[in-house]
Structure 1
Amino acid sequence: MKATFGGGCFWCTEVIFQNTAGVNSVRPGYMGGERENPTYEQVCSGATGHVEVIEIDFDESQIGFQKLLEVFFKTHDPTTLNRQGADVGTQYRSVVFYHDEAQKLAAMDFIQALESEKVFDSPIVTAVEPASRFWEAEAYHHDYFNQNPQNQFCQVVIAPKLNKYLKSLNH
């Protein structure tokens, strides 16, 4: 089964879901834009309309879509429009791209429950949109955190986020 999420930089979201039980694979890429076969540079310009996303292949017998939504909303800020931390632009917007009606309803219900419970101080701006063509990111983006542990962005931004997530699994 597939799930596709845009939650800011795909380097950050990729490693979170790589460390989630029941996830078979995570691929970084682009979705939701106008240009055929977009490049990273084109997407980063904001001109293509694409979002940096991760496409997750998961085993429904081990983890459900609902649990993936929990991880997604726990590990990014769904209240900032077109932004995650210092990354600003429509390519970093928060979005659930659904692959079927069940995923659409689950995402909408999940967001409504978070809003009702006032989990966040600000309104959730996460979009729920139908999945469109997935364009796989260039090879150097795959497994980025694990391949580039000395990169400053990995050390300063991703490592603390991953450590916080991994600690949450042990509680």
Structure 2
Amino acid sequence: MENGKKVYIAGGCFWGMEDLFRKQKGILDTEVGYIGGENENPTYRNHPRHAEGIEITYDSTETSFKEILDYFYRIHNPTTVDRQGNDRGSSYRSAIFYQNDEEKQIAQEVIGIVDNSNKWDGKVVTKLEPYVKFWPAEEEHQDYLQKHPNGYTCHYERFGTFLDK
């Protein structure tokens, strides 16, 4: 699809993020996996310094990178270092893996908007990391909360949009 673009983000356990993003306008596909770490071919049991991330494919005529980041900041706590809910460690960091300077600039802008909103008790600690490679997770982790509707998640919508409409 010529309007299809990809976004790579991490904000805690990938199951909950995938489940919420898949329902958003303009989202064509989601896949969970590992990103930003030290080893090739990471697995759930061996992914040092990789974040549990999500690859989002979206239709750029229906939504934008900025709108996706707005939702990202509404469904996870970006003010905790290496932690979401009960999950702790660098695998659960808040991160945006930008693919070019434009994405990095937009990410910085959205972080400023979120910080200035004072909706969170602290400041955003989301790491901006250059995209290198996304490794899809094992099949049992894909669409996990569809397969296990009562499975663990710490993600939910906390606020309305941060963006002026």
TM-score clears 0.5:
yes
Match of 1:97 in 2: 97
* 1:8–1:93 CA contact under 8 A, matched in 2: yes
Secondary structure of 2:56 counterpart? strand
Q: Deviations over 1:20-48 (max 9, x none)?
A: 010000000001011010110113xxxx1
The question of 1:41 aligning with 2:45 is answered yes
Identify the residue that residue 108 of structure 1 maps to in structure 2.
Answer: 108
State how far apart, in whole Å, the 2-side matches of 1:121 and 1:150 are: 29
- Correspondences of 1:22-171 after superposition (within 5 Å): 22-43=26-47, 48-151=48-151, 153=152, 157=154, 161=156, 164=157
Percent of pairs with identical residues: 37
Q: For the residues of structure 1 that align with 2:91 and 2:146, how far apart are their CA atoms?
A: 23
The verdict on how the C-alpha distance between 1:168 and 1:110 changes in structure 2, with shifts beyond 3 A counting, is closer
Instruction: Name the SS for the 2:128 alignment partner.
Output: strand
Tell me the TM-score normalised to structure 1 length: 0.86
Q: Which structure's residues are more often helix, by fraction?
A: 1
Question: Which residues of 2 match residues 3-18 of structure 1 at below 5 A?
Answer: 3-18=7-22
Whether contact under 8 Å (2:93, 2:126) holds in the other structure is: yes
Which 5+ residue runs of structure 2 have no aligned equivalent?
none
**Does the Cα contact within 8 Å between 1:8 and 1:92 map onto a contact in 2?**
yes
The alignment covers a number of residue pairs equal to 157
Q: State the alpha-carbon separation in 2 of the partners of residues 52 and 97 from structure 1.
A: 12
Distance 2:29 2:120 in 1: 29
1:40 aligned counterpart, secondary structure: coil
Runs of 4+ in 1 over 3 A off after TM superposition: none
Kept in 1, the 8 Å contact 2:73–2:114? The answer is: no
> What is the root-mean-square deviation of aligned Cα atoms in Å?
1.8
Q: List runs of 5+ in structure 1 lacking aligned partners.
A: none
